[in-house]
Chains A and B, each alone.
Chain A
Amino acid sequence: MEHAATSIPLSRRRAAPRIAWGKIGAMTVLIVTAVIALFPMYWLFANAFTPISGTPPLTPILVPAFKLDNFQRLLGGTKYYANWMLNSLIVALTVTAWHVIFDTMAGYAFAKRRFPGRNVLFWILLSTLMIPIHVTLIPLYIITRGIGLIDTLGGVILPGTAVVFGIFLMRQYIQTLPSELEEAARVDGAGEFRIFWEIILPLCKPAVAALAIFTFVRFWNDFLWPLIVLNKAQNYTLTVGVANLQGEFMTDWGVIFSGAALAALPMIVFFLAFQKYFLEGVRMGAIKG
């Protein structure tokens, strides 16, 4: 296409500019799709910021009034909303910290060290990636109940540490790192843990950033397992709490809108701030073959 454009510079002087219908068509499709993609989120926020008590009006709210009435009723009416946010934050941060440290350690061992059983263990881990969490839900529930963690954040967090995806991500990445630095440090007498902490981990920054972001978002948004483990309203995570707003405030849609919008907001801000890492991470996370 660009070549076609460069082959007609002679005509630039006289003729009326050609209209690139192809480009206009493509742009139109892209913009319309972007509007469709963003509309649900926009509508959610427009409703959340417009005072609604009870059922919303028949003419949809397309321009928000930028008032906080719904949010005030939400925070006044459900005394636990702040707890839910805090709980989600604790869960997501703890699970993320675990994966950043221990997935990198395991990924390093599988990528760079030779030890008996390495291939078998790695193969076992790899083969379970396809197992849907729904298969393990019932035994997980029985185990969590057995160690007395039902209705606690610990019960939500612990099974989250067993997600093996990060180990593969880190192994793939660490395999591409040169071994010279590591060997030089070993010759200089650095301990194994120091090598890991001071050489490997800093080199892994891009992969660690992707892993951290994805783990955090995944567990902030996680729903099914917290729904099963948590019973009392003050122990809910945000997703479980917001799902329950629907039952609790059946007729006050303003409260439900604001609750849902407030739950989505941190991830949207987070995404806008770390956009580059997100998109990079999607690419890194795709294990092909």
Chain B
Amino acid sequence: MRRFVQKHGWSYTFILPSLLTFTVFVLAPVVWAFIISFQEYSLVRGGTWVTPIYKNYVTAFTQFGGVFVSAIRNTLIYTLFTVTANILIGLILASLIQPLSNWLRTFFRAAYYLPAVTSALIIGLTWAYIFNAQWGFANYLLRLVGLPPVRWLSDPDIALGSVTLSAVLTVPATAVVLFSAAMGSIPREYYEAAELDGAGPIQRWWHITVPLIKSTTLYLVVIYTIASFEVFERIYVMVPSGVGNSTQTIVTQIYNNGFKDLNFGVASAQAFVLFVMIAAVAALQFRALRSDVEY
């Protein structure tokens, strides 16, 4: 025993603080959340099991006329558009800055990255100003070209689109930086050989650059998908009270159920629906990476 402590004591000492907070604030809460998703939980009385045991999961989807289903649909629409746009914009911008001088490359990377260091909350707030129906900048532009004003954030048919547009117009800084790093590590000889074979710039880009940065693309798709699944701040400030069901997302539903209605069981069930969605995306990533190795 003493020898074991002498030999390994320090190792455990080094990981102990991290392991302790991890257990108390991540591991135990996850297990507990799973239990609560089958319970009715009161801060005063604690948890009691519901019957049937899957009741919270049914309630999650059926309460308030099935708003959670709309929330999932909205989240998926938002995700589809933002992730596609983020990857394409990131790829194009990184490709365009690649041939520039070091100085210009750093300049553009910094310009694109700057907004990303401010909080999602303040970016959302700024976009709420831009989309203000009376004095916002978006409607000013429309007036300039003689178009009628749009109720960007209060028209239920448009509000989700406006929020999505604001996300699309926020340059995907991480994608630009990572794509650019991946492109920088492609050996120049590949391009030189292709050029000798008579391949033009677009052909070289499509047949060399794009395939060789595939793992970066995949990584970015996964992190952007997960981030979009979790969209909250943007919605919270741009459409504070929501425009009916049209601007609810999965996390606004978890927040409303959990911390406005104190309906912890149902909110936990909804959180696990989100968890399953994210796990599915992660699993797809692993599969894609494995097939990559085989080929």
Residues on A facing B (Cβ under 8 Å): 1-3, 22, 26, 29-30, 33-34, 36-38, 40-41, 43-44, 47, 55-60, 102-103, 105-106, 108-110, 113-116, 118, 121, 124-125, 128, 130-132, 134-143, 145, 158-159, 161-162, 164, 167, 192-193, 196, 217, 220-224, 228, 239, 242-243, 246, 253, 256-257, 260, 263-264, 267-268, 270-272, 275, 278-279, 282-283, 286, 288-289
Return B149 CB to nearest CB of chain A, in Å.
10
For the complex, give the distance between the alpha carbons of A162 and B275 in Å: 19
Per a CB cutoff under 8 Å, which of A57, A115, A135, A283 touches B33?
A135
In the bound complex, do residue A139 and residue B27 qualify as a contact, i.e. CB atoms below 8 Å apart? no
In the bound complex, do residue A264 and residue B122 qualify as a contact, i.e. CB atoms below 8 Å apart? yes
Known A-B contacts A43-B130, A43-B137, A108-B14; the reply to A289 vs B118 at CB < 8 A is: no
In the bound complex, do residue B26 and residue A131 qualify as a contact, i.e. CB atoms below 8 Å apart? yes
Find chain B residues with CB under 8 A from A224 CB.
232-233, 255
Tell me if B150 counts as interface (CB < 8 A to partner A).
no
In the bound complex, do residue A1 and residue B99 qualify as a contact, i.e. CB atoms below 8 Å apart? yes
Query: What would 13 more interface pairs be, CB under 8 Å, given A138-B267, A263-B118?
Result: A22-B201, A34-B108, A40-B130, A41-B115, A103-B18, A116-B8, A131-B26, A138-B36, A140-B25, A142-B43, A243-B125, A271-B110, A288-B216
Instruction: Classify chain B's interface size.
Output: 35 or more
Q: Mark B107-118, 1 if CB is under 8 A from A, else 0.
A: 011111111011
Return A236 CB to nearest CB of chain B, in Å.
12
Return B32 CB to nearest CB of chain A, in Å.
4
Return B270 CB to nearest CB of chain A, in Å.
9
Find chain B residues with CB under 8 A from A161 CB.
21, 25
In the bound complex, do residue B33 and residue A138 qualify as a contact, i.e. CB atoms below 8 Å apart? yes
Stretch at the interface among B75-83, B153-161, B174-182: B174-182
Chain B facing A: main interface SS:
helix
Find chain B residues with CB under 8 A from A223 CB.
119-121, 232-233, 236
Tell me if B17 counts as interface (CB < 8 A to partner A).
yes
Known A-B contacts A38-B115, A162-B26, A243-B236; the reply to A134 vs B126 at CB < 8 A is: no
Residues on B facing A (Cβ under 8 Å): 8, 10-12, 14-15, 17-19, 21-22, 24-30, 32-33, 36, 41, 43, 89, 92-93, 96-97, 99, 106, 108-115, 117-123, 125-127, 129-130, 134-135, 137, 140, 169-171, 173-174, 177-178, 181, 195, 201, 215-216, 219, 226, 229-230, 232-233, 236-237, 240, 251, 254-255, 258-259, 264, 267-268, 271-272, 274-275, 278-279, 282, 289
Return B130 CB to nearest CB of chain A, in Å.
6
Per a CB cutoff under 8 Å, which of A55, A159, A264, A275 touches B25?
A159
